[in-house]
Structure 1
Amino acid sequence: MAVSAAHAALAAGWRVDAAPRAGAAAQRLAETLCLTYAQLLFSRSPLVGALLLLATATAPAAALAGVSSVLLALATASALGLPPEQRRSGQLSYNALMVGLALSALAPPSPFALGVLAVAVVASVLVTASLHLALGVGHGLPVLTLPFLAVFYLTVGALPPGGAAPLALSNGGLLASYLQALGSILCAPRVDAGLLVLAALLLHSRIAAALSLSVFALAFALSPAMAPSLGLNAMLVAMALGAVWFIPGPASYAVALAGALVSGALGLGLAARFERLGLPILIVPFNLTVPLVLYVMRQRVSDGGPHAVDFAPGTPEQNLAYFHSRRERFGAVRGVRLTAPFRGRWTCTQGVSGGVTHEGVWRHALDFEVLDAEGRAFSSLGISLEDYSCYRLPVTAPAAGVVARVIDGVPDNPVGEVNLDDNWGNVVIVYHAPGLYSCVAHLAPGSARVREGDPVAVGDVLALCGNSGRSATPHLHLQLQASADVGAATIPIELHDVVEVSASGELLYAARVPSRGEVIRRVEADDERARLLRFGYGESRHARYTDGRRERSEELTAGIDLLGRCVLRSESTDAVLYYEHTASGFTVHDVVGDARSSLHLLRVALSRVPFDASSSLRWSDRLPLRPFLPVWLRALYDVVSPLGAPSSLSMTYSARREGASLLVEGRSDRSSRDGTPWVVSAARLSPGVGLVSVDVRVRGRRQRVDLSPVAPPVEERARITILPTERGTAHV
């Protein structure tokens, strides 16, 4: 009896839960369907995909074939156990979509045609998965629509004639031909379908839309008769090379134009041969040109213009904004950040191309000494090495690495004398990355704290400052070089996260090349400030937004994504804030997702916060300019931004104590005509609570976010157990 009652209760609970589960599954399937369509425009937006799906609905039979092909492809991928993330993103099903659209346009519906279509769809999944491994993992190249072409050409002969060619374009004016070409991306070369594809393209990227129209117009001007067929391939190549795989800009546009010309030449050369075979050329030139150009560009020894998208990609506009933000905020990107190799305040006494010994191939170097308030490097008479303030002070690793070379036996010179036989004196050379070594020279003999092969962390003591080699008075020489050879030619140098100390205060630089006379120091980490901006893994905070007219709430949860990046994620929107919490500071790298999320305001107020307790410290940072422009101006800005338009808004920040709280304040360097800064921000942090509130004014409009911790549910608290460990207790 009791068992039956339990079964009944379970069944009732299952019926209650089944509907929400089924609804969620249907929602995920619809999103995957839209993402599959979005792949055709290099997009990851479900809304873009929905517009493309709507474009196919202008021919209901084709729309049904496309949707059915996607569903069959997803079922096949699931049955084969292919990676879930590839299934959900549409990567394994967009070629099947193309197969369904193209074959349905060629043959009227029949049981035989449907059978051929089903086999072709399954085959496209197999080919797509294989090419993902062969091209993507093996060579870092995109699959594009190669699986579609392979399957289409192998199966088209099995279909009975009766349909229209999938890309049969008619000649017309520029606009009509352009819209037909856009529609033919979905095997629907019609103006009505093209209008919807154009709407989807504009929603996805104004940069990509401008590229597609520009290149198609060029093809139309050169040959109106050939433009409908060659222009399609040319504009796909231009979008891929000019805005997807490279950062949009003049250099990527030049590569895009060259690629479009190559695809045109391939189209002209292959068209006659395909015609003799009775086959349409489709998008063969696009699929040959893009991998060819990408493979050639991967052979470059340095990532100059055009710059490859070497981070998690977004839209072309997002890629461009992130690239400029990274370069402007953190300096020249070497992949390794190098800070000052000493503790305390040191003065640069010879800079790059300093005119004494920093010339020729050794011009990219820096010399440092410790000077007193009167600018003197020594006390007493300065005739003894011990009189010099920097003598035998610790020299530290500027970044993590492995010790590659140590010389420790060259004696110090008496003051005023130099050793020309051992120019560099005692040195420690540290390997940081391929082609990047740091060298500190003129060290004290017998002071090396490391041996060759030792790993070092940033700030680890390498040796002590000395006066060995070509050094008349004690000082520290720092240079970067491409090899571990003593005396190797220098490469451009800059220091990161250093503070310049002057009579007007202290200014933190994300990247700085010190010049002669500048006094600099490293960030002096303050544990208390570090605790104020620490978000525990899984910790949630309730954020209440108000702007005086409306209110909304969301829950923000701290976590770590699959790539190991720290994130704050909005549970009610798709917004994600990416941040870094290091020993020296808190840095927001990016915010993506819903523009209404409070996370965007957190980025403005806490873009970068050094964990340094100095009350006179100020620092600058840059925010993407686009969100602060009028809405009507943003689309135009998107089009001109790759051509050198300003990309960021400079902000100046400071921090001060207000009772027990820490107030981080910022204001933009750009002001309105009345002198009011465009942006003014304030973030309040309190001990034991952390971030309490964020207040941002943009052109006079005030927006505020109040945050409070969210207590875990009772069942979560019940699962927290305290376990003893060797170092105390652990919560599980």
Structure 2
Amino acid sequence: MKIKQFIKSILNSYSEIFFLENPIAGLLFLLITFINPYLGISGILAVLSAYLFAKFLNLEKEFLESGFYTYNALLVGLSIGYLFKFGILTLFLVFISGILTLVFSMFLYSIFSYYLKLPILSIPFTVISSIIYLSVAGYTNLFIDALYPHFNILVLEEITPQFLSGFFKSLGAIIFSPYVFTGIIISIVLFFISRILFFLALIGYYIGAFTIYLFKGSFYNVFSDISSFNFILIAVALGGIFLIPSIKSYFIAITAVITSTIVLSATKSFWSFYGIPVFTLPFNLITLMFLYVIGIVGFPYIAKIIRKTPEETLDLFLTSQKRFQGTERGIHLPFAGEWTVWQGFDGKWTHKGQLKYAYDFVITDENGKTYTNEGLNLTDYYAFRKPVLSPIRGRVVKVISDLPDNEIGTVDKENNWGNYVVIYDERGFYVEISHFAQDSIKVKVGDWVEVGTFLGLCGNSGYSPQPHIHVQVQLYPEVGSPTLPFSFVSFISNNEFFSNDLPKEGEKIKPAFADRSKTNKLSFYLDNSFIYEVFIDNKKIDEFEMSVKMAVDGTFYFDTGKGKLYFGKANETFYFYRLDGFDEYLKDIFISAPKIPLTSEKNVIFKDFLPFKLTTSKILKDFILFIASFNHSVGLSKYEGKTINEKIIEGKVYSIFSKKPILTKLELDDVFGIKKIKVGNRTYKLKTINFGG
């Protein structure tokens, strides 16, 4: 395993140059560098020195495997191998430069990630390579290799049209192999791994080249300038890596490329005075400036999780948009039993302007009426003096309880909120619950309340024409403060389970409380391991083991060695979040029930969405996602589930390319874990549990 990890780390250093985490692509890029043996040896030596020193420093395994900290060292090694004559002294320079670049990368990453929330890109490479180029002026034992011929395939150079050779040479120049042949190989690799990356590389180069042509008036000069690789890197980084691939990200990428032409010309003029190439300085400057500004203005398409390809990032984004539509300000319903939404966000009557983010609840009968008899008395109303519960855990900061309840037909216009409680949530907001019955509030300022704590009774105080519960989330503790968007953690409406969502006006809803037994069965801990037997049509074909591991960010996942299935609990729901790698068994576990309501209620239906990668072939998936980058409304695969009882969930998976659904079934164990899973004709049965520790 250590050798495998080592090889993967080295290869990922090469693929990381093109924003990929793909060992196969990394191997191809490594082989390309060995077309010029001196270049190849220098590159791999720099990576090895950085890797070994990182191991000496006990750097996290995940960072080592990704190549994140070592690709800058690789670029420095390649730059030295390209410029200097091969020899023992040059190799020594490569070795120490690799270590220096690693240390500088770690130093820079700690500053950029904490203070600026920005990636370091290839700044370490640009800085260290520039330092080395400046320093060699005083090193008489190092010989500049500019006079020595480099590898080239002249036939390709001669037969390739200039407008294509310029693109291929610029691609090759990214790994210091500015030749048509290397550019062709890199283009093929990019195309097969990511159509979005290839598309961005093309438009980045040619838009940048055309802009330069407008200034210079000569295509020959434009296509002969290999420093145009900066245009490619800018377009790829902004169009598909750090931003979600979309029309907007493509527009930003194009804009950035056009503006970078000025920076490229300026840096070339300035750097040439010292005899230093521009390296990736224009790419770093423009990309970081754009990312910083985009972050400040709150651009909605910033990639919060960057996957191995832009297609995977887009797939996760589109799915997450559908799966998790609520807000981070999730609160529970402030009541028990079934109530009706009387008024929601931006409602018909009072929820307007800065007070629009609020909900009103009443109780209605089968005829939709909120009262019995004639509705002339407060006691006729079903909601009057019903318990009001705390929707959050927090500290009570304001209470008013002595205002009288209005008689039906009158309202208190002077005390709009009536009797109320304001609670501070440590997530950084306040919740106000209003219109309590007179003298019914049982909490006081300073009290700590948990979710479900009894606060008081529903009343008709303040500007309230009939008894109801008013709840809102606000920025400040004062009543009447500007309200903020929020969502309800979980509820059931018309026998359908919703999590982190908002009900519609007129809907009857009730809280969906998590069942403790069901929650405990799905409370997996570090180093728990499970062995499952795999059957097809009741014939055993295999068995596999999956273990619970924890990522560096604290999230948990099932690990089989071939893939990682991330999971967690939120909003009274157990979720499978995403699948990394290519494991057919983990894929089946995911689609068998992408989310599991923790309620014990029977015959409750619920809906979810699945990533394309789980239900579509790779070729078709990548094509769809390329199209989806231009139109995010492309349909997703859907899941419909039903809780048969507290242990069994049956579901159907609907792919957008198949009319016939995939039938699924998941059964929880009596004590702990998932006992049985069925997806199509494949069945998984729990054989052994090892609790670890």
TM-score, L = length of structure 1: 0.84
How far apart are the structure 1 equivalents of 2:595 and 2:583? 20
Residue 139 of structure 2 corresponds to: none
Cα pair distance change 1:671/1:98, threshold 3 Å = closer
Residue 229 of structure 1 corresponds to: 226
The question of 1:92 aligning with 2:69 is answered yes
Which one of the candidate residues 676, 681, 686 is aligned to 1:693?
A: 676
Letter in 1 for 2:3: A
Letter in 2 for 1:329: R
Letter in 2 for 1:663: I
Letter in 2 for 1:553: E
Residue 610 of structure 1 corresponds to: 597
Deviation, structure 1 residue 349 = 2.0
Residue 651 of structure 1 corresponds to: 639
How far apart are the structure 2 equivalents of 1:187 and 1:51? 15
How far apart are the structure 1 equivalents of 2:147 and 2:488? 63
The question of 1:667 aligning with 2:639 is answered no
Deviation, structure 1 residue 410 = 2.4
Sequence identity (%): 26
How far apart are the structure 2 equivalents of 1:25 and 1:246? 34
Q: How does 1:107-118 map to 2 (within 5 A)?
A: 107-118=84-95
Which one of the candidate residues 160, 163, 169 is aligned to 2:143?
A: 160
How far apart are the structure 1 equivalents of 2:148 and 2:57? 33
How far apart are the structure 2 equivalents of 1:173 and 1:547? 57
Cα pair distance change 1:539/1:118, threshold 3 Å = closer
Q: How does 1:78-227 map to 2 (within 5 A)?
A: 78-79=55-56, 86-157=63-134, 158=136, 159-163=142-146, 172-202=161-191, 204-222=193-211, 223=213, 224=219, 225-227=221-223
How far apart are the structure 2 equivalents of 1:547 and 1:54? 42
Unaligned segments of structure 1, at least 5 residues: 1-23, 717-731
Aligned length: 671
Residue 5 of structure 1 corresponds to: none
Deviation, structure 1 residue 622 = 0.8
Cα pair distance change 1:576/1:116, threshold 3 Å = closer
- Say which SS state the counterpart of residue 163 (structure 1) adopts: helix
Letter in 2 for 1:75: L
Residue 285 of structure 2 corresponds to: 288
Residue 216 of structure 2 corresponds to: none
> In the alignment, is the contact (CA less than 8 A) between 2:593 and 2:641 conserved in 1?
no
> In the alignment, is the contact (CA less than 8 A) between 2:314 and 2:625 conserved in 1?
no
How far apart are the structure 2 equivalents of 1:703 and 1:461? 48
Residue 511 of structure 2 corresponds to: 522
How far apart are the structure 2 equivalents of 1:535 and 1:412? 49
How far apart are the structure 2 equivalents of 1:545 and 1:55? 42
The question of 1:703 aligning with 2:682 is answered yes
How far apart are the structure 2 equivalents of 1:666 and 1:51? 43
> In the alignment, is the contact (CA less than 8 A) between 2:205 and 2:229 conserved in 1?
yes
The question of 1:58 aligning with 2:35 is answered yes
Residue 256 of structure 2 corresponds to: 259
1:655-703 Cα shifts (integer Å, max 9, x gaps): 214xxx8431112456777x533x3212233423642322223xxxx33
- Say which SS state the counterpart of residue 627 (structure 2) adopts: helix
Which one of the candidate residues 556, 564, 580 is aligned to 1:576?
A: 564
How far apart are the structure 2 equivalents of 1:81 and 1:608? 37
Higher relative contact order (CA 8 A, sep 6+): 2
Cα pair distance change 1:58/1:405, threshold 3 Å = farther
Residue 15 of structure 1 corresponds to: none
- Say which SS state the counterpart of residue 298 (structure 1) adopts: helix
Letter in 2 for 1:526: D
Cα pair distance change 1:97/1:414, threshold 3 Å = same
Cα pair distance change 1:132/1:499, threshold 3 Å = same
> In the alignment, is the contact (CA less than 8 A) between 2:576 and 2:590 conserved in 1?
yes
1:278-308 Cα shifts (integer Å, max 9, x gaps): 32222110011122122222322xx343x22
Cα pair distance change 1:92/1:304, threshold 3 Å = closer
The question of 1:562 aligning with 2:546 is answered no
Deviation, structure 1 residue 449 = 4.1
How far apart are the structure 2 equivalents of 1:430 and 1:310? 31
- Say which SS state the counterpart of residue 331 (structure 2) adopts: coil
The question of 1:35 aligning with 2:12 is answered yes
Letter in 1 for 2:87: S
1:252-291 Cα shifts (integer Å, max 9, x gaps): 2222222212222200222223334332222110011122
> In the alignment, is the contact (CA less than 8 A) between 2:234 and 2:253 conserved in 1?
yes
Cα pair distance change 1:28/1:555, threshold 3 Å = same
Residue 326 of structure 1 corresponds to: 320
Cα pair distance change 1:130/1:655, threshold 3 Å = closer
Residue 315 of structure 1 corresponds to: 309
Deviation, structure 1 residue 532 = 4.4
Letter in 2 for 1:351: G
Q: How does 1:342-353 map to 2 (within 5 A)?
A: 342-353=335-346
Cα pair distance change 1:552/1:616, threshold 3 Å = closer
Deviation, structure 1 residue 619 = 0.9
Q: How does 1:437-516 map to 2 (within 5 A)?
A: 437-452=430-445, 454-501=447-494, 506-516=495-505
Residue 622 of structure 1 corresponds to: 609
Which one of the candidate residues 658, 676, 683 is aligned to 2:666?
A: 683
1:62-107 Cα shifts (integer Å, max 9, x gaps): 1111111111223334455666654454333222211111111112
The question of 1:553 aligning with 2:543 is answered yes
- Say which SS state the counterpart of residue 226 (structure 1) adopts: helix
Residue 395 of structure 1 corresponds to: 388
Residue 544 of structure 1 corresponds to: 533
Residue 8 of structure 1 corresponds to: none
> In the alignment, is the contact (CA less than 8 A) between 1:336 and 1:433 conserved in 2?
no
Residue 642 of structure 1 corresponds to: 629
Unaligned segments of structure 2, at least 5 residues: 137-141, 214-218
> In the alignment, is the contact (CA less than 8 A) between 1:577 and 1:592 conserved in 2?
yes
- Say which SS state the counterpart of residue 44 (structure 1) adopts: coil
How far apart are the structure 1 equivalents of 2:19 and 2:246? 18
How far apart are the structure 2 equivalents of 1:114 and 1:557? 43
Cα pair distance change 1:32/1:393, threshold 3 Å = same
Cα pair distance change 1:410/1:311, threshold 3 Å = farther
> In the alignment, is the contact (CA less than 8 A) between 1:329 and 1:510 conserved in 2?
no
How far apart are the structure 2 equivalents of 1:288 and 1:453? 51
How far apart are the structure 1 equivalents of 2:480 and 2:629? 41
How far apart are the structure 2 equivalents of 1:534 and 1:550? 28
Which one of the candidate residues 587, 590, 593 is aligned to 2:578?
A: 590
Letter in 2 for 1:665: E
Residue 347 of structure 2 corresponds to: 354
1:490-518 Cα shifts (integer Å, max 9, x gaps): 344543422113xxxx1122354333321
How far apart are the structure 1 equivalents of 2:169 and 2:457? 72
Residue 400 of structure 2 corresponds to: 407
Deviation, structure 1 residue 249 = 1.4
1:90-142 Cα shifts (integer Å, max 9, x gaps): 33322221111111111211344334334433332332232122323332222
How far apart are the structure 2 equivalents of 1:279 and 1:29? 34
How far apart are the structure 2 equivalents of 1:387 and 1:592? 57
Letter in 2 for 1:655: T
How far apart are the structure 2 equivalents of 1:294 and 1:167? 37
Deviation, structure 1 residue 526 = 2.9
Residue 719 of structure 1 corresponds to: none
Which one of the candidate residues 253, 265, 274 is aligned to 1:277?
A: 274
Residue 363 of structure 1 corresponds to: 356
